């Protein structure tokens, strides 16, 4: 079988739980970490791995993530690159190729204020650590079983006026932020660091420049839509961030697709963040947090430490569909 045929077959989307399905469980963890309430609809990108110990300390009962299953017809592959065209030798090569492709695409009209953003995402079960004595840690997450699809208003004035969350931006705000980003990578990254400020107080200590830049990029990339020319500028800037790498082969995401992984290890931690990119149309395809070295985190009280194994996946979210629609509940 030739590579193009393989790639096309891999592009069939798996039905899955969307971001809204995973948000309640993830919110439990981030609330414990940050020590304050956060909106469930927003999955914050600064997932501070150093605070996993705090999660363990306050988790008294084992909860469970329920996989969600729904089966819509898969969407066809986007006509773009083929596997043989990919160059994963470096971030500059991979992201430069993506930017070149995006710069050739027609920029669609901005969505109307009355339109909605439809998202469908799959979330793989996070790794459950074990105790040093080999017993189950009991640290998992509880998630109800809501509708696996989500709709977000493109223009949400109430959310725009809520300044309690420094990372959250509405779809309309994100579109404008992306559209106005400068061409120069250094200037672009500086602008995003201002838009998505680094942590302080209950959000943890300020991040170093490279980690802050990568998180800000990750937050923006979760937004939809981003004009293709703006996305090209974002990818070129991402390639310049200190510590950014690209996996030298395609990886499988939570939906089973093969995707590009652009990675950066959290500063001073044994976990890396992976931004996933579709190798066909170079759209944002999801994110993962992966343990890079087997290590222990002290357990609360007299409990044995928890052990995370190298390769454990702590966060695994794959975006399988995104579109602009005319009404809430409408599917493309």
Structural domain boundaries enclosing 262: 3-325
Say whether the peptide bond before residue 171 is cis (omega within 30 degrees of 0): no
Q: Can you give the pLDDT at residue 159?
A: 84
Q: Which helix (H) or strand (E) holds 195?
A: helix 185-195
Q: Can you give the pLDDT at residue 43?
A: 38
Q: Can you give the pLDDT at residue 125?
A: 64
Confidence class for position 60, pLDDT limits 50, 70, 90: very low
pTM metric for this prediction: 0.73
27 lies in some domain: yes
Nearest to 308 by CA among 324, 318, 297, 321: 297
330 lies in some domain: no
Q: Can you give the pLDDT at residue 296?
A: 87
Whole-number average pLDDT of the chain? 76
Confidence class for position 61, pLDDT limits 50, 70, 90: very low
332 lies in some domain: no
Q: Alpha helices of 196-330 — where are they, by DSSP H?
A: 209-221, 228-238
Question: In this structure, what are the phi and psi dihedrals at residue 255, rounded to the nearest 5 degrees?
Answer: -95, -5
- Reading the block at residue 130, the tokens are 């074990």
Question: Which of 9 and 217 is assigned the larger pLDDT?
Answer: 217
Comparing 56-60, 267-271, 281-285, the range with the smallest average pLDDT is 56-60
Is 178 a residue whose pLDDT tops 80? Answer: yes
pLDDT digits (tens, 9 = 90+) for 279-295: 999 999 999 999 999 98
Structural domains of the chain, count: 1
174 lies in some domain: yes
SS3 category, 102: helix
Is 90 a residue whose pLDDT tops 90? Answer: yes
187 lies in some domain: yes
DSSP 50: G
Question: Once rounded to an integer, what is the mean pLDDT over residues 141-150?
Answer: 54
Question: Which of 74 and 166 is assigned the larger pLDDT?
Answer: 166
331 lies in some domain: no
Comparing 72-76, 129-133, 260-264, the range with the smallest average pLDDT is 72-76
């Amino acid at each position: 079988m030739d590579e193009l045929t393989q790639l096309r077959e891999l592009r069939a989307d798996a039905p899955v739980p969307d971001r809204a399905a995973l948000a309640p469980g993830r919110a439990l963890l981030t609330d414990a970490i940050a020590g304050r309430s956060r909106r469930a609809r927003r999955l914050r990108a600064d997932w501070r791995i150093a605070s996993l110990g705090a999660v363990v300390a306050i988790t008294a009962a084992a909860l469970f993530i329920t996989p969600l299953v729904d089966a819509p017809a898969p969407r066809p592959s986007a006509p773009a690159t083929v596997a043989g065209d990919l160059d994963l030798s470096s971030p500059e090569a991979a992201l430069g190729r993506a930017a070149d492709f995006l710069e050739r695409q027609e920029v669609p009209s901005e969505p109307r204020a009355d339109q909605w953003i439809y998202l469908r995402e799959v979330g793989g079960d996070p790794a459950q650590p074990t105790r040093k004595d080999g017993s189950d840690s009991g640290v998992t997450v509880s998630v109800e079983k809501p509708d696996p699809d989500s709709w977000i208003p493109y223009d949400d004035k109430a959310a725009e006026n809520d300044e309690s969350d420094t990372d959250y931006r509405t779809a309309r705000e994100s579109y404008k932020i992306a559209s106005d980003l400068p061409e120069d990578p250094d200037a672009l990254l500086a602008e995003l660091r201002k838009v998505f400020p680094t942590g302080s107080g209950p959000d943890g200590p300020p991040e170093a420049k490279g980690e802050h830049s990568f998180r800000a990029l990750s937050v923006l990339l979760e937004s939809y839509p981003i004009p293709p020319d703006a996305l090209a500028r974002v990818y070129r800037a991402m390639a310049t961030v200190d510590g950014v790498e690209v996996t030298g082969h395609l990886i499988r995401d939570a939906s089973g697709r093969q995707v590009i992984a652009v990675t950066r290890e959290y500063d001073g931690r044994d976990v890396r963040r992976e931004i996933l990119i579709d190798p066909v149309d170079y759209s944002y395809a999801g994110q993962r947090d992966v343990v890079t070295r087997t290590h222990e985190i002290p357990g609360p009280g007299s409990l044995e430490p928890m052990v995370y194994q190298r390769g454990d996946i702590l966060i695994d979210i794959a975006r399988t569909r995104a579109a602009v629609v005319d009404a809430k509940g409408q599917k493309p």
